[in-house]
Structure 1
Amino acid sequence: MQILVDADACPSVIKDMLFRAARRVEICVTLVANQYLRTPPSPFIKAIQVPAGFDVADNRIVEMAESGDLVITADIPLASAVLDKGAHALDPRGNWFTPDTIKERLTMRDVMDQLRSTGIETGGPAPFSTRDSNTFASQLDRFLARHGNSPRKTP
């Protein structure tokens, strides 16, 4: 099991939590982004920079994901793709994407996109809060307690 992070839009506080978890439970955490990312020195933490372009980072994450992995992303289509591969998907606010809810979330995303394309102001997500980071930390700890027994260590 490994943790893959859609890192371009992931809040720094979440990355820091993931770095601590990587060292604590000795699990591989890989950040994927189309920009350079600084990571702390650790055999369990790495960053992959992909070329700029639409969905390039997402496609790389899907390519790397395996059944049982954990993917951190707020991107609903990416979450859907990794769920199809048997991976788990958690957003940075601590909300799980599941096979039971992903179709509804994709539909809502498409409706909002259509509204925005017609010029309707739909607003955006609420600002990231301390409560969001606490919820994420709790969900991550629960996941690692259940699934973190067999880490995939870096070579």
Structure 2
Amino acid sequence: MRLLIDADACPVVDLALFISSQYEIKPILFCDTSHRIERENVITIIVPKGPDSVDFKLVNALTKHDLVITSDFGLAAMCLAKGAFVIDSNGREMTSDNIDQLLAFRYESAKIRRAGGRVRGPKKRTEKNNISFERNFRQICERAILAKKEGAKDEQ
């Protein structure tokens, strides 16, 4: 089982690496050449800078029951389609139940920006965000481990 992190602008890389090590989940960081993010004893996959280049590399590396950290709703939708567990850096899990609403929100926001309007950006990150991320990420790790075990039993 692996943890794939869309590491460009991800504020919880170190926290996620710490938690994933406790569950013996192998982390992989994905970033482009303008955001070289490397950590000791962690695989970092660096791709050429370009629109969605990190996203496509991450999705192609993904297998069922992997965990993904991203704040990109489009990437999250692709990961969910491949059977991954997806969470953003604030601890919000993205699922088949909420991804359509999140994508619709992204679409409407883009439409407003194209028309010259302004959309509120994210709130300033607080310690509360880290606490929420840690709590929810641990829960997702446990569910993913259980799902992988159950999947292995079904294949026998």
TM-score by length of 2: 0.88
Q: Which has the higher contact order (CA 8 A, sep 6+)?
A: 1
Assess if the C-alpha contact under 8 Å between 2:85 and 2:140 holds in 1.
Answer: no
For residue 86 of structure 1, give the secondary structure of its aligned residue in structure 2: coil
C-alpha RMSD of matched pairs (Å): 1.6
For residue 53 of structure 1, give the secondary structure of its aligned residue in structure 2: coil
Deviation string, structure 1 residues 18-68 (Cα, Å, up to 9, x no partner): 22123322211001000321202x3xx211111000000000111011111
Assess if the C-alpha contact under 8 Å between 1:27 and 1:148 holds in 2.
Answer: no
Deviation string, structure 1 residues 96-125 (Cα, Å, up to 9, x no partner): 111011111111110010001111111211
Match status 1:89 vs 2:78: no
- Which residue is equivalent to 2:9? 9
Superposition pairs of residues 124-135 of structure 1, within 5 angstroms: 124-135=121-132
Match status 1:36 vs 2:36: yes
For residue 135 of structure 1, give the secondary structure of its aligned residue in structure 2: helix
Match status 1:60 vs 2:57: yes
The alignment covers a number of residue pairs equal to 146
Match status 1:27 vs 2:48: no
What 5-or-longer segments of structure 1 have no aligned partner? Answer: none
TM-score by length of 1: 0.88
- Which residue is equivalent to 1:109? 106
**Counterparts of 2:102 and 2:16 in 1: how far apart (Å)?**
25
The residue type equivalent to 1:62 in the other structure is V
Assess if the C-alpha contact under 8 Å between 1:80 and 1:102 holds in 2.
Answer: yes
What 5-or-longer segments of structure 2 have no aligned partner? Answer: 150-156
